Chain A
Amino acid sequence: MLEIKNIHKSFGKNEILKGVDLKIEKGDVVVILGPSGSGKTTLLRCINFLERADEGQAIFGNMDVNLKSASRKQIHQIRQKTAFVFQNYNLFNNKTALENVTEGLIIGRKVPKAEANKIGKLALEKVGLSDKINSYPSQLSGGQQQRVGIARAIALNPDIILFDEPTSALDPELVGEVLTVMKSIAKEGTTMLVVTHEMSFAKDVANKVIFMDGGVIVEEDAPEEIFSRPKEERTQQFLKRVIPEDYIYNI
């Protein structure tokens, strides 16, 4: 459904993405792991044009787009097919939770207000925030804000939802509630591309794990393979550092 070919991106003299290829099928839940600076977030941001790649191609359904020279119209079309969940939630501070969720529908997709509100309320119900629809972000906890962010993404009913370290900015107690929501929408068949450090999510929910380092994909496989039988040295080193010692000795 989505295929990325040979994506390159540099910031000044730093080459962050050194040629990455990626293929995602409908219903996939793909987790990208890797040390910081490996390009995971940049990859995500290039897909929906929050950054402009220096080189590369994206094939989205029947759309074939050059990532460097894409026109405004093409960018807009791709953004219609994707939704983004940010590490820092990025809720619209001057809008209520419901307004946050319906903004993209009403203004971006010209959905009539009544219908948008219906969709929005359903989305907020799905993330467990029906009682907060008229609250402003400043009145919500981090976990609640992120759940609104997820509701905002699912309300758009995109082909794929991109998650950029959705729980990294949360207090540990609040991480669980967000992961629960993500697991439930994954079970419903949502196509997800998730950059995260939450190994439990990768092990329990993902059907494909990608390990990135130094701007390239080092290894990609099913979670069982990656976690118990990593083939590359770099992957093994990373996992050793990230997963508690006793797991490695699990037979």
Chain B
Amino acid sequence: MSADITYFVLFCILNTLFAVLISPFFISLIKKVKAYCQGRRGPSLFQTYYNLFKLLKKETVYSNKSSFIMRIAPYINLIFTITAGICVPLIFIPNTNFFVGSVILFLYLLGMAKFFMAVAGLDGASTFGGMGSSREMTISSIIEPVIILIFVAFAYVLHTTDIHQMITVSSNIGGILFVKPALFPLLIALFIVLIVESMRVPIDNPETHLELTMVHEAMILEQSGKNLFMMELSSAIKQTILMAVLINIFFPFGFAKTLTFSSALIAMVWFFLKSCILCIVIGLFESSFAKLRLFRVPHFFVLAFFLSILTIIFEVFA
């Protein structure tokens, strides 16, 4: 039992540190891919790290209309996103996780982070923040049934509601997609969720600061300095862990079976390579779409909804 606890603590530390350190890289990588698609050279692959470092050294500006919410929201946003990261193993899976790997817990921890981000958006008494919060909450509520349906489908196929166990089961049978090719629509649905939750084109454009097209950026427009650092870092981490859900359930290769230095290193390299491929796919996907009008967005979700319910119907009646 005590060995299990040690393993769990080690897992938490390793998983969190790895996720925090690696995630800014993926943001830059997607930017680079998009730049290449547009015929530019794009910023350096480490640009996001430089940006974050710059933000850390800048002064923090609070509006005189804002309250303590503005000061605590970035912290809550960051720490709950990082906590959600523990629900998704990146490099190795501990024997026991004390039920913290549950799907619903994972989603609602991210929900808590989003709640405070949205509340902080309205705190500055600016028009943009409210607009961003309103749009983000709309989009995230409409996508919620799709996310749940995807995990219902996983629960039906893998007979568990725990992400850790889902990945274990999937890796034991050698990759769920290779055993049940019928689950391919679920992969597409999960990809759509990844695009939506990390606020990318066609839902939102992370590069824009044009008032009418901003969603996520409008919400954090009032943030600055170390608070903006926390917001930026937490959205990078969120993207990484959502990518990890997709990668590790569908392609569960290269996990460290026993925790040694070399096996952990190999697992990290594996995860890094797989995520890089996914980032390139995201970049290409973003480059080949135009941003949708806000009220067209639900149509995009219906596609994901249809795909996931199709998979479930196959599973139920098979």
Partners in one complex: no
